[in-house]
Amino acid sequence: MREVVFKNLTSVASRKKDIFLQEVFEKEGMKAKTERRCFYFIKDIKHMASDDEIKKWLDSEGETKGLNRRQFHIMKEHNDALLEDKIICKILGTFYAVINKTVYTIGFLHSFKVRFVKPSLAK
């Protein structure tokens, strides 16, 4: 048995994009459920007059806010009572996109979740 769910949600008004993929499958006495999610949102928009102004702004922004710093989290959980294992990985960060002298500051969250459980106890 295998189930796949895919969602691609875009909201222009709130400046968000959410991509979601879920798979559920059963193999050799184990049921596995995986979820992948990519969530992007525009945090800020700056209009610049020249290319030099863009470079100067990006240099100062990277120094003060640590542009290249990403947050990476892993959680692993085992439950003997339910015979269940879970793993959750999340990456949070920020990047810039420059289009026609306009700088977009974009935040993102990427997550990956896996859950393994015996089929007789799965809901």
Domain of residue 47, residue span = 2-117
Residue 32, H or E segment: strand 30-47
Kindly report, residue by residue over 7-22, the tens digit of the pLDDT: 888 887 888 999 999 9
Q: Is residue 50 part of a domain?
A: yes
Q: What's the number of domains the chain is made of?
A: 1
Tell me whether residue 122 is in a domain. no
Q: Does residue 82 lie within any of the structural domains?
A: yes
Going from the C-alpha of 49 to that of each of 7, 20, 32, 64, 75, the distances in angstroms are 38, 37, 52, 22, 45
Whole-prediction pTM value? 0.74
pLDDT over 90 percentage in the chain:
31
pLDDT in tens, 54-71: 888 877 776 656 556 788
Specify if 70 maps to a domain. yes
Instruction: Give me the pLDDT at residue 41, please.
Output: 92
**Residue-wise pLDDT tens digits, 99-111:** 888 888 899 999 9
Q: Residue 123: inside a domain, yes or no?
A: no
Q: Is residue 54 part of a domain?
A: yes
